[in-house]
């Protein structure tokens, strides 16, 4: 059975927060009591507001949904329902397990968010760093939604300083030595890396994409996002890249702890127009 939520209280006078909701059936043989949970932040008395699901970063082996509550409150104060999810982590689980978890979390949101005042036909998926990779892969490669037994319900992708959007080229050309550290996560063969690369699924998707990139982020992230941008342009995709001057990798998400940060304007504008 599904566990609904274990906590409910206001994070701000105009924000309702519900925490630790199980998004996988608790009777499922792969259910993880810690990692198959999500938090929901909504405006008090929300009615059919847009929904933004966030996938945390942490290099696929760390990170937690609870670190981003302030961001959730800020979005809810701006009339957006924010959902922050956990997912199973490396080294025990690989990227396919993680993408499947993201798809299952999206499915839960699609089926349940109306109970919280969100609009199930207005769901956007976002992530930072490794979470950006998982958001891109899950949103573009529909096999994970098929595995979760749902059609892709997303209206768009919002990628924040995302890593390994061009995983195949990064592992084979840019830094093949670095790839050896991640054989358990992505496999050790070039065909496995191709399968794991979000960029190769662009032609099969019509999702609009907005990407945000720090000018001082890691070189590999800069290269990967540039290759992803060029491929989007070649494929004629609705894609726009925002370069945030002076921001390093971690600051690309922590800047959203401040409610007046201009990224909120860009993200919400993108959601309203798609």
Mean pLDDT of 233-254: 97
Angle at alpha carbon of residue 145, lines to 185 and 80, rounded to 5°: 100
DSSP-derived pairing of the beta strands 239-244 and 80-85: unpaired
* Range of lowest pLDDT (6-15, 19-28, 154-163, 234-243): 6-15
Residues 6+ apart with CB under 8 A from 236: none
pLDDT of the residue at 2 = 35
**Cβ-contact 35, 24 below 8 angstroms:** no
Q: What is the mean pLDDT of residues 44-64?
A: 97
Phi-psi region of 246 (alpha: psi -120 to 50; beta: other; left: phi over 0): left
pLDDT above 50 for 206: yes
The per-residue pLDDT for range 182-204, each reduced to its tens digit, is 999 999 999 999 999 999 999 99
Contacts 24+ apart (CB under 8 A), 1-7: 1/25, 1/26, 1/27, 2/26, 5/40
Which whole number is the average pLDDT over 16-30?
A: 97
Binning pLDDT at 50, 70 and 90, where does residue 1 land? very low
pLDDT at residue 108 in the model? 98
- Residue 156's pLDDT band, with cuts at 50, 70 and 90, is very high
The per-residue pLDDT for 6 is: 33
SS3 35: coil
Confidence of residue 178 (pLDDT cuts 50, 70, 90): confident
The residues near 163 (Cβ < 8 Å, ≥ 6 apart) are 57, 129, 130, 132, 133, 218, 220, 221, 224
Question: Phi and psi (nearest 5°) for 154?
Answer: -75, 145
Per-residue pLDDT, 14:
87
pLDDT band at 125 (very low <50, low <70, confident <90, very high): very high
Average pLDDT, the chain: 94
Question: Quick one: pLDDT at residue 12?
Answer: 56
Q: pLDDT-based confidence at 150, cuts 50/70/90?
A: very high
What's the gap between Cα 210 and its chain centre?
Answer: 12
> pTM of the predicted model, to two decimals?
0.95
Write out pLDDT tens, residues 55-76.
999 999 999 999 999 999 999 9
């Amino acid at each position: 059975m599904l566990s609904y939520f274990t906590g409910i209280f206001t994070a701000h006078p105009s924000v309702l927060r519900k925490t630790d909701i199980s998004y996988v059936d608790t009777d499922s043989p792969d259910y993880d009591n810690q990692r198959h949970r999500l938090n929901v932040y909504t405006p008090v008395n929300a009615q059919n507001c847009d929904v933004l699901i966030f996938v945390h970063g942490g290099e696929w082996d760390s990170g937690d949904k609870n670190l981003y509550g302030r961001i959730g409150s800020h979005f809810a104060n701006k009339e957006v329902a924010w959902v922050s999810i956990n997912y199973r982590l490396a080294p025990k689980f690989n990227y396919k397990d993680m993408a499947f978890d993201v798809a299952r979390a999206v499915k839960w949101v699609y089926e349940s968010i109306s109970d919280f005042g969100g609009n199930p036909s207005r769901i956007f998926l976002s992530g930072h760093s490794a979470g950006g990779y998982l958001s891109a892969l899950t949103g573009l490669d529909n096999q994970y939604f098929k595995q979760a037994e749902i059609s892709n319900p997303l209206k768009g992708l919002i990628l924040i300083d995302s890593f390994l959007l061009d995983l195949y080229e990064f592992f084979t050309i840019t830094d093949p030595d670095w790839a050896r550290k991640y054989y358990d996560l992505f496999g050790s063969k070039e065909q496995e890396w191709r399968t794991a690369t979000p960029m190769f699924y662009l032609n099969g998707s019509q999702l609009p994409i907005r990407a945000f990139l720090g000018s001082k982020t890691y070189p590999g992230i800069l290269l990967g996002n540039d290759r992803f941008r060029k491929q989007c342009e070649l494929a004629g995709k609705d894609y726009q890249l925002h370069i945030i001057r002076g921001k390093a990798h971690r600051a690309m998400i922590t800047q959203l702890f401040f409610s007046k940060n201009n990224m909120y304007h860009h993200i919400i504008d993108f959601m309203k127009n798609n």
